[in-house]
Amino acid sequence: MGEKTTTIAEKITDTLKKNYMPYAMSVIVSRAIPEIDGFKPAHRKLLYTMYKMGLLKGGRTKSANIVGQTMRLNPHGDQAIYETMVRLTTGCESLLVPFIDSKGNFGKQYSRDMAYAAPRYTEAKLEEICEELFKDIDKDTVDFVDNYDGTMKEPLLLPATFPNIIVNPNQGIAVGMANNICSFNLKEVCQATIAYLEDEKVDISKYIKAPDFPTGGNIIYNAEEMKEIFETGRGSFRIRAVYNYDKKSNAIEITEIPYTTTVEAIIEKLVSLIKAGKIREINDIRDETDLGGLKITLDLKRSTDPDELMRKLYSLTPLEDSFNCNFNILVDGHPRVMGIKEILYEWTKFRINCIRRRTQYDINKKSEKRHLLLGLEKILLDIDKAIKIIRETEKEKEVIANLMKGFNIDEVQAEYVAEIKLRNLNKEYILNRTKEIESIDKELKALNALLKDEKKIKKVIAQELEMVAKKYGRPRKSKIISEEKIETLSKEDFIDDYNVKIFLTRQQYIKKISLVSLRAYSTQELKEGDEIIQEIEATNKSELLLFSDKQNVYKIKAYELEDTKASSLGDFIPNIVELEEGENIIFVAAASDKYEGDLLFAFENGKLVKIPLRLYETKQNRRKLINCFYGRSKCVAILHITEDIDILLKRSDNKVALINTSLVVKGNNKKAAGNQAVKVTKKSRLEAVLTVEDFSGNDVEQYRATSIPAKVQSIYTQIELNI
């Protein structure tokens, strides 16, 4: 017998936990999501390398040199490091507050195709504002960890003196989550943070009005949208391009575009619109971007209204775009979506900790110095004794021990005294040094008071923010425009409107035919065994309400239906709307913008009701409405009336009554049952509702009733009534 082999099947959930989850967490924590200092690890490693290279004060060096040095901290490859560097430069114009002063071609944020030069051609150094990123980094303000091979130390965070996390835009896609942080003006952020430090309940919107982007543009301000973004860290706002009209050359010059798009994307969209015949006012498009900045020129045809054209282009092209906010930030290793106040709270907590650590570092250093000076002060009592001890000590290693014994000082103090040069072992030098003890005591007292008082620490943070705002603050690049002042065009504005006829068939086909086409060929083509059950007039922009036999209403726009000819079968309704199983459309109503008129519903139980059409109007673009009319009895007819008319009610036992719809009660909700128009029996039911078109030419006045329930009378000329 062969050996019996067994295999152990591993659960897929265990495999994911073991292999995929560590990868996912690595991407979230170590790559894609920024931390409270505003940087992802790749940014931090690059900037810290440049700081250690002395590029904060010195001149520029080749980018290739920076990339090579950064690889000691970041092993992801030179191309990835250089791409990170490009985004942080002044030349790229990707950041509102760039951190790298660059020389050479670094591409542009607003251009997709403008390639940046190779690192051997470009040069860079740190911008002056980086002093605020690395302030007191050597004073134990932040934690340091080993690099990937344990040969160097690198900071976990940078002790930035301003909330860089919301000053510069940041975007990243992790595993199962993403972040998209818009930038805000540095000066406004500093002022808001100072106000927040004084009062945590402050209204941030008094200081930060709206985002600000390095590419400029006009931000369309909606108070509710902005409030949601500020409070939750989620939401969206619109930003549109800036243009001016050159009357002399009859051309529009676009000089600022949304941060989310590029020159190439805009031009490609314009070209496709012109080819499709949707834009006819433009003669030529030129990309005139040069060293002076971005410029897209549109040469216009004569008599073109530039403002009207731009309104069209804002609707049809990326010249107006949305920025979707997702303020997802790592705090203590955990991703959190936060509003601005919450971000400022976490940044303030981080910065308070930096100040405390710096203060403790200063206290320790000054205490050490004071301790040494106290030892020196004891030497002052008998300098000759100190010299004698050193001179008479036979072995060097015994000097420290003898000084400790002779002056009752500890080893550290003795080491300090022993290291003093012979020329400095005089009374004047020792007196001058020991005088520092008094000033050190005062400094220590102030530092200890600062360490214990959070209010004082917040004042220090506020002073630093004031300095940053004063020294590095710049005017807004993105202007703010109130939404009320914006004239917008919807996609519907570009759809042609014309008169059409809508045909509904029993086998659930719907046709839209223009009146011009209908006059040319009026014989309707139908599927075998099918028949037209309704025919209405509408326009191409009308909203069509499709009523079903399950009390549902489906809404579509007439222009969503294909323009057909009478010889076509039309659109099959189940292909247009998602009907329930066994559901059929029994009536179509065409509604204009005003939703005028009433819908008259007639039911088998003899009840009639008028429902105002406006009750079916919705503010949201809802495609399906449920429970839209009375459902306890089968609906036998629906009529759309704008004024009261005569109708003939026919019962299944061939009895009729003529009434005016003014007798029918008007319901105040969609499910109203109405009132009894005719009585029904166990053997009869209301079967049909006929209008004037159905009984014109017939003498039906004899069946008129002036009140309801109407008395029904037998008819004998059924064929003449067009039933």
Q: What is the pLDDT of residues 154-178, one digit of tens each?
A: 999 999 999 999 999 988 887 777 8
Least confident of 72-76, 114-118, 165-169, 691-695: 691-695
Widest CA span of the chain, in angstroms? 148
644 with 660: CB under 8 angstroms?
yes
Average pLDDT value for the chain = 89
In this model, does residue 717 exceed pLDDT 60? no
Q: Is the pLDDT higher at 622 or at 446?
A: 446
The phi and psi torsions of 604 (rounded to 5 degrees) equal -55, -30
Domain boundaries, the chain: 33-160, 242-318, 359-467, 498-592, 594-723
Q: Which fold, 33-160?
A: Topoisomerase II; domain 5 (3.90.199)
- CATH number of the structural domain 594-723: 2.120.10.90
- pLDDT given at position 720: 54
Highest mean pLDDT among 266-270, 272-276, 406-410, 484-488: 266-270
Q: How confident is the model at residue 29 (pLDDT cuts 50, 70, 90)?
A: low
- pLDDT given at position 72: 92
Instruction: Please state, in angstroms and rounded to a whole number, the distance separating the CA atoms of residues 700 and 595.
Output: 32
Question: What's the distance, CA 11 to chain centroid?
Answer: 38
Name, in order, each residue with C-beta under 8 angstroms of 95's C-beta and a sequence gap of 6 or more: 87, 88, 168, 169, 183, 214
Terminal-to-terminal C-alpha distance of the chain: 88
In this model, does residue 452 exceed pLDDT 60? yes
The DSSP line for 712-723 is PEE-S-TGGGT-
Q: How confident is the model at residue 426 (pLDDT cuts 50, 70, 90)?
A: confident
Averaged pLDDT for residues 362-374: 91
Domain range 359-467, its CATH number among 3.40.50.920, 1.10.268.10, 1.10.760.10, 2.40.110.10: 1.10.268.10
- CATH number of the structural domain 242-318: 3.30.1360.40
- pLDDT given at position 42: 92
Instruction: Please state, in angstroms and rounded to a whole number, the distance separating the CA atoms of residues 384 and 388.
Output: 6
Q: Is the pLDDT higher at 484 or at 83?
A: 83
Q: How confident is the model at residue 416 (pLDDT cuts 50, 70, 90)?
A: confident
Averaged pLDDT for residues 684-701: 82
In this model, does residue 480 exceed pLDDT 90? yes
Averaged pLDDT for residues 435-443: 89
Q: pTM here? A: 0.71
Q: How confident is the model at residue 198 (pLDDT cuts 50, 70, 90)?
A: very high
In this model, does residue 690 exceed pLDDT 50? yes
Instruction: Please state, in angstroms and rounded to a whole number, the distance separating the CA atoms of residues 417 and 386.
Output: 9
- pLDDT given at position 719: 42
Least confident of 400-404, 421-425, 601-605: 421-425
Residues making up the chain, counted from first to last: 723
- pLDDT given at position 278: 82
- pLDDT given at position 280: 87
Q: Which of 20, 23, 121, 498 is catalytic?
A: 121
Q: Is the pLDDT higher at 312 or at 394?
A: 312
Return the SS3 of 336: strand
121 is catalytic: yes
Question: What's the distance, CA 534 to chain centroid?
Answer: 46
Distance set, CA 666 to CA 62, 663, 705 (Å): 82, 9, 19
- pLDDT given at position 618: 85
The CA R_g of the chain, rounded to the nearest whole Å, is 41
Averaged pLDDT for residues 227-254: 94
Task: Classify residue 620 as left (phi > 0), alpha (psi -120 to 50) or beta.
Answer: beta
- pLDDT given at position 172: 81
607 with 637: CB under 8 angstroms?
no
In this model, does residue 15 exceed pLDDT 80? no
Averaged pLDDT for residues 185-201: 95
| 618 beta partners | none
Q: 141 burial class (0-12, 13-18, 19+ CB within 10 angstroms)?
A: buried
